[in-house]
Amino acid sequence: MKPKHQRLWLAGLAVLAIAGASGLALSGLKDQASFFYAPSDVKKQGLPLGKAVRLGGLVEAGSIKRAADGVTLDFVVTDGAATTPVSFKGIAPDLFREKSGVVAEGQFQPDGGFVATNLLAKHDEKYQPPELAGKLHETRSLKQ
Amino acid sequence: MASLHALANPARFLRLARPLTPAFLLSGVLLTLFGCWAGLTQTPPDYLQGDSVRILYIHVPTAWLGMGGWSGIAIASLSYLVWRHPLARIAARAIALPGAVFAFLCLATGSIWGRPTWGTWWEWDGRLTSMLLLFFVYLAYMALARADADRGGDGRLPAIYGIAGTVLLPIIRYSVVWWNTLHQGESIGLTSSTVDSSMLWPLWFTLSGFTFLFAGIVLMRMRAMLARERREARMRRMAA
């Protein structure tokens, strides 16, 4: 075997070993590396009580209710399989709206609700001009 | 492969690189300027984000080059380790600085975009964190390559590091698939895109423009490094 072929084999083996090791590490991280809990995660794993966590999903259509004080919002986060009611007091980002993504920072309550201290808007990967928005969104959500 | 081996000859490389450098830089500047103008004035705003979506014409090319730069370092490192091409070692070192700059620009433009859309400058989600790691990996590579060269090393250590760092690339790419992230999923693929075509087309101009700029900068740096090596060799000959 020529030395350069030997080096090629060695390099290939090293790359495979590194890829395998990081694959193992990543699969171990799978649950810890998520940025937020989805409502159905909580249903499956139980409530992560007593610590600050994030809850993410879509704001359910027609669920946003503004309290009389003007700064308290109540809404429902859904991921299609489960829902969580959320209460938030403060200023929501501009992109916070119904049927759109949201990540809430705060704590779960023993009754299954969530009290948020901060809201982040999460948008999806679809970009389109305003005049197309309604139509495309409808057909896409029908397909899903 | 034969043509690639021919290119590994520094004299032949220089003959090719000399006219290519200004050609790449000029077409890069023109394409980028046109793409930015078109992205700012010729496309509709996004239905949800409004005009802030336009930063995508800068953000996407910087992300592509930040990651593409490391792929270049990895390929050059591999061919240096296996075939010992002296040019491959120089190419890897030449890519590192512009790669780091583009990775940083990707983080900066992403942060500026995140503030009006998500409501935050920075969050430790999978995509953002893995991209920040890539930036640090670039910095460490530059430090390692310089230390190795200063001590007269044979460049094997930075090359091994260059290959090992490649594990970050699939992690960045698939972070939005494997984990819940604040960053949205993949919008632009090879065959399909979830960006409407009326908004997408200037991106091809900025993408190719920044790529030409990147290539021009890398050629420039490679020529400078070759010139320095030649001068040092001549000084050594004169001293002897």
Report ipTM (2 d.p.): 0.76
CA distance, residue A35 to nearest chain B CA (Å) = 5
CB nearest A35 (choices: B83, B84, B126): B126
Residue B141: per-residue pLDDT: 97
Domain assignments of chain A as residue spans, ordered by start: 1-33, 39-125
Mind listing the pLDDT tens digit for each residue in A102-142?
Answer: 999 999 998 888 999 999 998 888 888 877 655 544 444 43
For residue B196, list chain A residues with Cβ-Cβ distance below 8 A.
Answer: 127-129, 132, 136
CA distance, residue B197 to nearest chain A CA (Å) = 8
pLDDT, tens digit only, all 240 positions of chain B: 455 565 667 888 899 999 999 999 999 999 999 999 999 999 998 888 888 899 999 999 999 999 999 999 999 999 999 888 889 999 999 999 999 999 999 999 999 999 988 989 998 988 999 999 999 999 999 999 999 988 888 889 999 999 999 999 999 988 888 888 889 888 877 677 888 888 899 999 999 999 999 999 999 999 999 999 889 889 988 887
Q: What average pLDDT does chain A have? A: 82
Query: Distance of alpha carbon B106 from its chain centroid, rounded?
Result: 10
CB nearest A22 (choices: B49, B167, B179): B167
For residue A11, list chain B residues with Cβ-Cβ distance below 8 A.
Answer: 78, 81-82, 163
Which residue is closest to A4 within chain B, CA to CA?
A: B82
DSSP H/E element including A87: strand A83-89
Q: What are phi and psi of B168, to 5 degrees?
A: -70, -30
CA distance, residue A136 to nearest chain B CA (Å) = 10
Q: Does the beta carbon of B157 lie under 8 angstroms from any beta carbon of chain A?
A: no
For residue A4, list chain B residues with Cβ-Cβ distance below 8 A.
Answer: 82-84
**pTM of the full predicted structure?**
0.86
The CATH superfamily holding the domain A39-125 is Nucleic acid-binding proteins (2.40.50.140)
Q: Does the beta carbon of A143 lie under 8 angstroms from any beta carbon of chain B?
A: no
Longest dimension (CA), chain B: 71
Instruction: Say yes or no for a CB contact (<8 Å) between B179 and A133.
Output: no
Q: Which of B95, B103, B67, B55 has its CA nearest to residue B206?
A: B55
pLDDT at A143 over 70: no
Instruction: Say yes or no for a CB contact (<8 Å) between B49 and A4.
Output: no
Residue B7: per-residue pLDDT: 61
**HSE on the CB side for B86, CA within 13 Å?**
10
For residue B167, list chain A residues with Cβ-Cβ distance below 8 A.
Answer: 18-19, 22
CB nearest A35 (choices: B167, B180, B199): B180
Percent of chain B that is helix, strand, coil (3-state, to 5) = 80, 0, 15
For residue B186, list chain A residues with Cβ-Cβ distance below 8 A.
Answer: 125
From CA A11, how far away is CA A17, in angstroms rounded?
Answer: 10
Mind listing the pLDDT tens digit for each residue in A32-57?
Answer: 777 888 888 888 887 888 888 999 99
Mind listing the pLDDT tens digit for each residue in A7-19?
Answer: 888 888 888 888 8
Which residue is closest to B181 within chain A, CA to CA?
A: A35
Residue B84: per-residue pLDDT: 86
Question: Residue A96: pLDDT band by 50, 70, 90 thresholds?
Answer: confident
